[in-house]
Chain A
Amino acid sequence: MNNVAIIVPVVLVISVVLVRLLYPRKNSSNTADSGTQGIPVRAMIEEGLPAPKHFQYFRQIRQALSSADAEYLLRMAPKSAAKQALRERRAVAQGFLKGLHEDFSNLSKLGRVIASLSPEISHKQEAERLKLTVKFQILYAAVWMRLYTGSLPMEQLERLTGLVSRLSARMDEAMTEISAQSARNMAETLGG
């Protein structure tokens, strides 16, 4: 490890990463009650998970992006205006995909927060979640590229959003169940 041409850039890059890690853009608080990364874990356990924010707008977006609309545009509107409209529709779809990413991230983040506040965790589970998150990031980039190039059918996007919604609903159920169980345990403990 004596090559100056390698060492110097490596250390400089690591230093930049380090400063970014030390001083992130968003300030996150992490008291026990507010949970970590700004997620109010205890409130979530008591009230259940919030519904995914972006899924609810899927119908409107799908309608706006329907192929019938696109065909109509290409037939009736001037070429430049139709192209402009299609570009904008693609941008809307990308924004929507970003929203889905946010929904996914929130659920994944919740898993990490629960892990951080647990007295014992499974290394296997943590490694698996990390692997899944990395895989998702790669797949998301690939799907985003396909959407960008206009080769992603909307039906597939719909299936994806459906999955997010079902996931959230089941998490909500699980949270309620666990909340009730925790309350029962606590009552038993206090009752001796």
Chain B
Amino acid sequence: MNLLENILSWSTLTFLMILCAFILARKVYQFLPLFAIYCGVLLISTLVVWSVYKVSGFNSRFSYFAYWSSVLVNALARSLAIVELCRYGLRAYQGIWALIWRVLAILSIFLLTHAAVDAWGQPKRFAIYAMTLDRDLAFASIIVVVALLLLRNYYGIALEPLQRAVTLGICIICAVDVIGNTIFRNIFTGYLYSWFLTTQKALWPQLDSQVHHVNDVWSTVHLLFFMLSVGVWCVALRKPLTARQKKPVLLPSEVYRELSPAINLRLASFNTRMVELLKP
């Protein structure tokens, strides 16, 4: 690790500790338990990976597996936090929740299947496999969050400020992961692929500096944006949380049964007239 990476790693660890302290102080685990677990996982995995680096060295095989395993564990915890974001505040709206969870579940199944198929087709190297899976999970997360926000916007159900900050932070991490992992995956499966092949061992000394340079750049970019996300969460949690939204008082079922078909019928006849307007 170079000096910049050392500074960034220390800062990340400090930010994560502050974040976990805020989560405990504001009792976030009471209403967003999976997000609280995600933050805990981030802190623990950072500490574990760092300890492994200290014990067995930054460039050891053990560190390599520890790092990529932590990437997958973090991606899994992040996915659970996103599931929680989808549920949060919408379950009280029984009618549309029944529709929204089905839409999001179908979308998630499609995207996760794509992620599995994409990762399956990668060269049999743990780093490339993990990088592809992490990238596809991050992409799936962004798509699911965008779909969720579109549906919430369509029905006019806004997110609370904390959930908004959580969503923004997660999406920053995901967007950077998708872009970074795509670029670096292409480099590692392209001209640096020899680095993973024992049959090409003779080339390793020549590639060594390039591989480390690529790793350094990716680590720096990743850590910078990761710190930005953690910073967004810390800012959202710096003040005591405002009272959460009350459960909505639902209308009697007849209102929807009576009005919805009438509205649709009228909208349809309105469109018919618009079509007539366009006839020459």
Task: Tell me whether A67 is interfacial, beta carbon within 8 Å.
Answer: no
Chain B contact-residue range equals 35 or more
Contact across chains for B274 and A118 when beta carbons are under 8 A apart: no
Stretch at the interface among B72-80, B155-163, B204-212: B155-163
Given contacts A136-B270, A140-B274, contact A116 B155 (CB under 8 A): yes
Contact across chains for A36 and B258 when beta carbons are under 8 A apart: no
For B143, give the chain A residue with the smallest CB separation: A14
Chain A positions 111-170 with a Cβ under 8 Å from a chain B Cβ:
111-123, 125-126, 128-130, 132-133, 135-136, 139-140, 142-143, 146, 152, 156-157, 159-160, 163-164, 167, 170
Contact across chains for B262 and A174 when beta carbons are under 8 A apart: yes
Task: Tell me whether A2 is interfacial, beta carbon within 8 Å.
Answer: yes
Given contacts A22-B159, A112-B155, A164-B270, contact A14 B278 (CB under 8 A): no
Stretch at the interface among A53-61, A80-88, A102-110: A102-110
Mostly, the A contact residues are: helix
Task: Tell me whether A66 is interfacial, beta carbon within 8 Å.
Answer: no
Q: Indicate which residue in B157, B253, B255 contacts A30 across the interface (CB closer than 8 Å).
A: B157
Task: Tell me whether A171 is interfacial, beta carbon within 8 Å.
Answer: yes
Q: How far is the CA of A128 from the CA of B98 in the complex (A)?
A: 17
Chain A contact-residue range equals 35 or more
Q: Indicate which residue in B189, B247, B250, B262 contacts A119 across the interface (CB closer than 8 Å).
A: B250
Give every chain B residue within 8 A of A133 (Cβ-Cβ).
267
Chain B positions 227-262 with a Cβ under 8 Å from a chain A Cβ:
245-256, 258-262
Give every chain B residue within 8 A of A118 (Cβ-Cβ).
94-95, 250-251, 253, 255-256
- B residues within 8 Å of A by Cβ? 93-96, 98-99, 102, 114, 118, 136, 139, 142-143, 145-146, 149-150, 153-159, 164, 167-168, 171, 175, 178-179, 182-183, 185-186, 189, 245-256, 258-264, 266-271, 273-278
Contacts A129-B264, A167-B266 supplied; 15 other A-B pairs, CB < 8 Å: A1-B136, A22-B167, A111-B264, A112-B156, A114-B256, A119-B94, A119-B95, A128-B264, A132-B268, A136-B267, A136-B274, A160-B277, A164-B270, A182-B251, A185-B254
